Structure 1
Amino acid sequence: MKITVKPITESKRILDKCRLTVNKEPSKNSRPSTVFLDNIYMSEHSPIREKLFDVYIEDIPYCISTHFVRHHQGIEKYVTTSRSDRTNIADRSQRSQMDLVSMSMTVNSQALINMSKVRLCWCADKDARKVMFEIVRQVKELEPELGSKLVPSCVYRGFCSEGNASCGYSREFLKNWRKEYLNGRKQIL
């Protein structure tokens, strides 16, 4: 399986949409500051939806692609067909859920945040989790401020929303992950 993440839009679009909402001209800077991006991704204000990525996954098992197809807000998915009249491959009734397909997703930053809450969870399918970890790794290289916000629900919320007392992540690992996620922010409670 090969996963490739590429940015479609520039982060400056986020800043310019924020500036528009307060009656300011577009920024002359080519990229927003790290502090701005860190804060806007953490707050999840609507302009983050302006940052788009193209995620291409080649040779993913069909059954794993369905985990990503379930996401629907801020994301468009395209999966190669398994129709025998289009592929010249065996009749569908003879195909396995493990047959390989390719898929492409056009996804905004908010959708990546939402997707990571579910797909990085220990309760998620382990192979879907591996795919999501690779997507996160590549996003961190492209947009570190967003990448650090791509966390499972337990890190995001501070507790397990699945009620899973036997999570496979160690408490120490989750504690460090949450610390990185909060990145020095003061907690209200």
Structure 2
Amino acid sequence: MLLEFADSTDRDVQSFVYSKLYDYDGNDVIQAAVNGLQNEDEIVRISAIEIIGKQQVFEQLPALISSLTDSDELVRCYAAETIAFLGTDLKDQLVMQAKAEQDEIARTGLYYALYSLGATEYLTALLELLDSESHVVVIRTIHNLADIMSTANKDAILPALHNLKKRELPVSIKEVLNEYLD
């Protein structure tokens, strides 16, 4: 039923449909996700990337790689994170993209992806994003750091999060920090 509205001309309907398709699987959903990668709406493209990741559609890696150069920074961020989630060894390509990337939100996803794929030197770069002026970048970084935290890196991550908590912060950042530190 949802699939018949995936091509709606109403952007709100499309965004809703793609966000709900995440909860379903099957070839029709995968095809809708593939089509959604080309959609003009960034929310649809992000949802399509999430669907591809959840369904582990490895044959769509070239499309995810193309999404690393999307015009929207959040799309680039989600694409990098999904590539890491799929566990693919595209480290060299992600390193090149990280060096060229100018936007902090997209770099958050790239650094997370690189660290997740074994490039542990990107932990420092990810920690540095906690100093961003953008609360969106800081919140995304906190979530990513919490996701990758392990016994091997907690001695670097926890002090950085505790130091961040000591600063004067927007409520949105404080809430996310409290979620992980309390």
Taking structure 1 as the reference length, what is the TM-score of the superposition?
0.29
- Name the structure where helix makes up a greater proportion of residues: 2
**Which protein shows a greater Rg?**
1
**More contact order relative to length (CA 8 Å, sep ≥ 6):** 1
- Name the structure where strand makes up a greater proportion of residues: 1
Taking structure 2 as the reference length, what is the TM-score of the superposition?
0.30
